[in-house]
Chain A
């Protein structure tokens, strides 16, 4: 499976080059995600057969099922899909920019930053869910900005970005601990659930902002993907090829921070999806390059499947989805560290 590129050309002079294997992976992941989503909608205290779920989704279900599906479960699944996709894409962008699989938002402390923003709102003002989400968004953006400013010195370099990110992450974690100790028991319980990352009780209010943001950011990112692909070869080579390296990098980093922060604001800091999705996608496509679309699909698939596992395996006492992704991702991180060590890269 070495050369799977196929060129498609039209008489008008348009041409694209498709990696057959990557396209196949994307299609299979989309199918898997959709199947998992339908199954997930049918799962819960009132199980709904798959056929009924599909009938309800096209608007032909009975009123009872209609309420459960469209008002309760569909928004939850959509938040999961969008948040997973954003995390997968955000992670792929960060890893490509830092040229390091460890350069993902989880390690860089963006999740912790968003958590700090959310905690400030929960602990200091006992704000509403939307205010908490806004706090998380601001916290993530500020952290992203801080990392960029601290790591910036004639261009952001992979290792510096990762090391600065780890430092920032440690500081913010300490702040979070402090905020928790200052909170009363009710706020603390709420904060802890939020911090684990949960899709419980998500409704359409969370879907729309997330949808709007991804609808803008995903095309913007994909348009700049070719420049990012060149940047894999180092700044000098990509610069020589006519990529405006600093501009592309700044634009994509801002997009990645926005994607990660908004996903975190909607679903809590669901751990490790941003780290694992791009790596898993890469292993499936076996193609060089940032693998943006496969990572996006993989993120969505991972989060929806993890949510299903957390509901399924632990029954009525739902386990927040972040626990499942944390366990799976943690195992993966250990494996990654060991194999990178062996390859002499860290």
Chain B
């Protein structure tokens, strides 16, 4: 992989090779002087539903921002189809890789169809502002996310769950093979969280899109992800299919939480059950005693 020719212009023809379309190579990520991660390397397997998990401030959202070229690594590089992502034309990236950020503002008085239509921006130009294809893709995206009936409604009138579906529809209208989602379930109640995750799973399974999401809930991650990346303090602690890597030891290492891992009765995936308060307190006392003894 290190012999990869950076100047390669045949970027889009690499799908057949063993190199994944999106990866970060030895990146150092920092806001001003505050370093979040150093020498971090991550591969996003093609056609996977990759979920990045980790405790607060472990750098998972920062990593997603770097992968979507919102944050320029101070060292290392992010590669998309073999090219350094920052060196690619903005619209070309936007036709390959979509991002649903955490913070997005629905303009005052905008309708659902209008907002979803804005996802077509990277496919448009000054002379080609609204083609029949744009129209078709917008309808299709609204249908896939179940908001087709809401087309004429104002976005500010919708419930939180509906609104998130609309934003996902906008990202879908961008028609990118790769879609990155930054905590898509935050601020939603439980049935809408599952709803959004089901939708993501559908997009992954039925359309073969590569999805990368940052999720807070480890159990959601373990259930939906095909590939899990566990981060702690800017380092990858483990990665792989949830079944292979989610163990009590890993959860303790990454989150500092004692727990049992059982089989999810619905899906057979790992299910994390935190240890009861007493058991954890006992363990803590034991730890203190052990340190004092030494």
Chain A residues near B (Cβ < 8 Å): 2-3, 5, 7, 9, 13-17, 99, 223, 226, 229-230, 232-234, 236-237, 239-244, 286-289
Contact = CB atoms under 8 A, between A and B. Distances in A.
Given A3-B113, A232-B105, A240 B68 contact: yes
B243 interface: no
A3 B152 contact: yes
A234 B105 contact: yes
B157 to A, nearest CB: 11
B293 interface: no
Q: Interface range on chain B: under 10, 10 to 19, 20 to 34, or 35 or more?
A: 35 or more
Given A15-B134, A16-B130, 11 more contacts: A15-B128, A226-B126, A229-B118, A237-B104, A240-B94, A240-B99, A242-B92, A242-B93, A243-B90, A288-B110, A289-B107
B130 A288 contact: no
Contacts of B115: 233
Contacts of B114: 3, 5, 288
B101 A240 contact: yes
Contacts of A229: 118
A57 B90 CA distance: 49
B106 interface: yes
A243 B89 CA distance: 10
Most-contacted residue by chain A among B113, B115, B118, B132 (CB, 10 A) = B118
Interface of B: 68, 70, 90-95, 98-111, 113-115, 118-119, 121-122, 124, 126-132, 134-135, 151-152, 154, 171, 174
Contact of B106 (A7, A230, A233): A233
A9 B132 CA distance: 8
Contacts of B93: 242
B122 A239 contact: no
B128 A233 contact: no
Nearest to A236: B101
Contact of B104 (A2, A16, A223, A234): A234
B132 A241 contact: no
Contact of B107 (A226, A232, A241): A232
Nearest to A232: B107
11 contacts: A3-B111, A5-B130, A15-B129, A15-B130, A15-B134, A226-B126, A232-B105, A233-B115, A240-B98, A242-B122, A286-B109
A241 B122 CA distance: 6
B7 to A, nearest CB: 22
A232 to B, nearest CB: 4
Contacts of A288: 107-110, 114
A7 B131 CA distance: 8
Given A234-B103, A234-B104, A239-B70, A14 B127 contact: yes
Contacts of B98: 240
A301 B98 CA distance: 42
B209 to A, nearest CB: 15
A99 B109 contact: no
B129 A17 contact: yes
A2 B103 CA distance: 26
Contacts of A232: 105, 107
B129 to A, nearest CB: 5
A287 B129 CA distance: 17
3 smallest CB-CB distances across A and B, nearest first, come from: A242-B94, A236-B101, A17-B130
A156 to B, nearest CB: 16
Contacts of A240: 68, 70, 94, 98-101, 171, 174
Given A2-B111, A230-B118, A237 B131 contact: no
B71 to A, nearest CB: 10
A99 B107 CA distance: 9
Contacts of B121: 226, 230, 241-243
A215 B131 CA distance: 30
Most-contacted residue by chain B among A3, A226, A233 (CB, 10 A) = A233
B105 A9 contact: no
A312 to B, nearest CB: 36
Most-contacted residue by chain B among A3, A99, A229, A288 (CB, 10 A) = A288
Given A241-B94, A242-B90, A233 B107 contact: yes
B105 A287 contact: no
A15 B123 CA distance: 12
A335 B127 CA distance: 40
A149 B61 CA distance: 29
Contacts of A243: 90, 121
Most-contacted residue by chain B among A9, A237, A288 (CB, 10 A) = A237
A14 B127 CA distance: 5
Contacts of B101: 234, 236-237, 240
Contacts of A2: 111, 152, 154
A15 B125 CA distance: 9
Contacts of B135: 7
Contacts of B103: 234, 236
A158 to B, nearest CB: 10
Most-contacted residue by chain A among B95, B101, B132, B134 (CB, 10 A) = B101
